[in-house]
């Protein structure tokens, strides 16, 4: 039931007809989610604002995309053309908002700060703190590889294991 709610919420936020989502919640850890954000249809407009939260979002481009626009804490930035493998990191406490012209195809990794802290605590490590990035859309072959390894799981979500995610 939780997956459907998350899918509906993300689809609504990105103005998509659907947003296939895989949710994983290791024991004692806040849920993390992986979502396919793909749109080939008509222009739908700027994403909806969401309440700021202590979480991070990594978006890995699976296909090329023309330029777009981005707002972080209300500050506007033009997005250059995107290539497959370009990776974006968003701190969701800054209320990122985008205006993307289809077609586009991204894999979204949602990681709440609580999950990062809990995973670190289980391993005796210190808290993660904040993730910071000064650039948008840099090539990241590791994140691209992770995205491509998760992608087939959307075809058979019932056979996907939490351990793999």
pTM to 2 decimal places: 0.85
All residues at 6 or more sequence positions from 112 whose CB lies less than 8 Å from its CB, including other chains: 30, 31, 32, 53, 54, 55, 56
Residue 157, pLDDT above cutoff 80: no
> Could you tell me the residue ranges of all domains in the chain?
2-155
Closest CA to 3 of 155, 158, 164: 158
CATH superfamily of 2-155: Jelly Rolls (2.60.120.10)
CA angle 13, 104, 149 (to 5 degrees): 95
**Percent of the chain at pLDDT exceeding 70:** 88
Lowest mean pLDDT among 13-17, 114-118, 155-159: 155-159
Alpha helical stretches, state H, the chain:
2-14, 113-122, 141-150
**Taking 50 as the threshold, does the pLDDT of residue 1 lie above it?**
no
- Average pLDDT value for residue range 32-39: 92
Q: What is the mean pLDDT of the chain?
A: 84
Residue 161: pLDDT above 70?
A: no
Answer yes or no: is pLDDT of 153 > 50: yes
Condensed to tens digits (0 to 9), the pLDDT of residues 107-148 reads: 999 988 888 788 777 777 887 777 666 667 899 999 999 999
| pLDDT band at 165; cut points 50, 70, 90 | low
């Amino acid at each position: 039931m939780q997956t459907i709610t998350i899918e509906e919420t993300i689809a609504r936020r990105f103005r998509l007809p659907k947003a296939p989502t895989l949710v994983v919640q290791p024991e004692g850890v806040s849920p993390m989610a992986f979502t396919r954000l793909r749109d080939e249809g008509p222009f739908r407009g700027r994403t909806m604002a969401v309440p700021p939260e202590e979480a991070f979002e990594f978006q890995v481009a699976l296909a090329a995309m023309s330029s777009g626009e981005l707002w972080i804490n209300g500050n506007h930035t033009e997005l250059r053309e995107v290539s497959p493998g370009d990776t974006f990191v968003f701190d969701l406490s800054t209320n990122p908002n985008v205006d993307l012209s289809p077609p586009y195809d991204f894999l979204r990794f949602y990681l709440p700060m609580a999950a990062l802290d809990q995973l670190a605590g289980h391993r005796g490590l210190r808290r993660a703190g904040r993730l910071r990035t000064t650039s948008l859309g840099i090539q990241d072959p590791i994140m691209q590889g992770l995205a491509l390894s998760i992608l087939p799981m959307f075809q058979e979500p019932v056979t996907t294991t939490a351990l793999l995610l």
